[in-house]
Amino acid sequence: MRIFVLLFNAGTDNEGVHTIQEDDRNKILMFESKDDATRFALQLEAQDFPTASVEEIDAEEIKEFCQSAGYEWELIIENEALVIPPERNVEETNWQEDRGKKENDLDSATSHKAEEEISGTELDNIRRQLEGLL
């Protein structure tokens, strides 16, 4: 069975799948309908999430991934109910954490020193510029 999921940075080394965090567990939403998945992605974007792409994937692939990663999954039946993203979002996604770990592994001393040298104002300016790229 083919379903639709939301991916961030699709096709890159930094690809990530959208999950919903419930307590200490993550759950991937599998949409039967591309329209429902697109609607959910637009709602996320309205909550200042990065733009997600709607990708068609075999449901068994997602189930296997969930099993190996310790994630839950939920099938969203077409037109059954309107699915709304939670109001609270995590501050830093797992794929952002992974990217940060790679950067720190390369040169943690230099990056730590750079963090100390950047003022709050400079950091805010950089953050706004990066957000503008999304």
* pLDDT per residue as tens digits for the range 63-104: 999 999 999 999 999 977 667 776 655 455 554 444 444 444
* Per CATH, domain 1-81 is 3.40.1350.100: yes
Quickly state the pLDDT bin for 27 (edges 50, 70, 90).
very high
Please tell me the pTM assigned to this model. 0.63
Q: From CA 133, how far away is CA 124, in angstroms rounded?
A: 15
Domain ranges in the chain are: 1-81, 90-134
32: pLDDT strictly greater than 90: yes
34: pLDDT strictly greater than 60: yes
Quickly state the pLDDT bin for 61 (edges 50, 70, 90).
very high
The reported pLDDT for the residue numbered 48 is: 85
108: pLDDT strictly greater than 70: no
CA 97 to centroid of chain Cα atoms: 11
Lowest mean pLDDT among 59-68, 107-116, 120-129: 107-116
Sign of the C-alpha dihedral computed for residues 121, 127, 129 and 131 taken in this order: negative
Task: State the DSSP string of 82-132.
Answer: -----S---SS-HHHHHHHHHHHHHHHHHHHHHHHHS-HHHHHHHHHHHHH
CA 99 to centroid of chain Cα atoms: 13
